[in-house]
Each structure stands twice: as structure tokens, then as C-alpha cells.
């Protein structure tokens, strides 16, 4: 299953959603390894920034994740039928 199929089917079943979450965790871990290898990973800065984002999201009204620049939708992530990436 490619990423666009995984994304399109993410909410069909609990196992499908778990598959997407697992893939996203893998993506984050790869990025962390890349940042560490370049000497630019700072765990304290990451935690501080993550706390700020969580607080801002929880302070926002409905659907704060849709206003985030990292949100993924068909419109801003290039999802299309048969696409290899989303």
C-alpha cells in the first residue's frame, strides 16, 4: 500500500488508522536521526516548542490542527488517486 492509499483509507478501520500513525512516527524518527547526524537536534528546544504548540492548540477553538502549517489535506499535500506521496 502506498502513502496516498494509506491516507485515503486511514479512517476506514482502526488498524488502518494505526498503520498511518505508525508511519508518521517512523517519519518523525527518521527526521530526528537526520537532524542528530547533522548536529542540529536539540531535545530541550524540541520539548519547549512542542509544549508551546500543544498549549496553543488546546487554547484554540474547534479544529486547531486545520490552521497549522503542518496540516495535511488533499489540497496542500498533493493527494490524488494513484499518487505515490501525500
In tens, the pLDDT along 18-38 reads 888 898 999 999 999 999 999
Q: Are residues 35 and 53 in the same domain?
A: no
Comparing C-alpha atoms, which of 16, 1, 28, 17 is closest to residue 82? 1
Q: Is residue 21 located within the same domain as residue 50?
A: no
Give a yes or no: residue 85 inside a domain.
no
Number of structural domains (the chain) is: 2
| Residue 12 pLDDT class (50, 70, 90 cuts) | confident
Structural domain range at position 9: 1-40
Cα 8 from Cα 19, distance rounded (Å)? 12
Q: For residue 79, what pLDDT band results from cuts at 50, 70 and 90? A: very low
Task: Judge whether 7 lies within some domain.
Answer: yes
Model confidence over 42-63: pLDDT tens digits?
A: 999 999 999 998 888 777 765 5
Same domain, 60 and 30: no
Query: CA-CA-CA-CA torsion for 8, 11, 13, 14, nearest 10 degrees?
Result: 130
Segment 59-70 shows an average pLDDT of: 60
Amino acid at each position: 500500500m502506498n502513502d496516498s492509499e494509506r491516507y485515503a483509507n486511514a479512517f476506514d478501520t482502526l488498524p488502518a488508522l494505526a498503520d498511518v500513525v505508525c508511519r508518521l512516527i517512523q517519519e518523525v524518527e527518521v527526521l530526528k536521526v537526520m537532524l542528530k547526524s547533522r548536529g542540529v537536534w536539540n531535545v530541550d528546544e524540541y520539548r519547549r516548542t512542542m509544549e508551546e504548540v500543544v498549549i496553543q492548540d488546546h487554547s484554540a477553538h474547534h479544529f486547531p490542527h486545520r490552521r497549522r502549517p503542518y496540516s495535511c489535506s488533499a489540497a496542500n499535500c498533493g493527494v490524488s488517486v494513484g499518487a505515490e506521496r501525500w
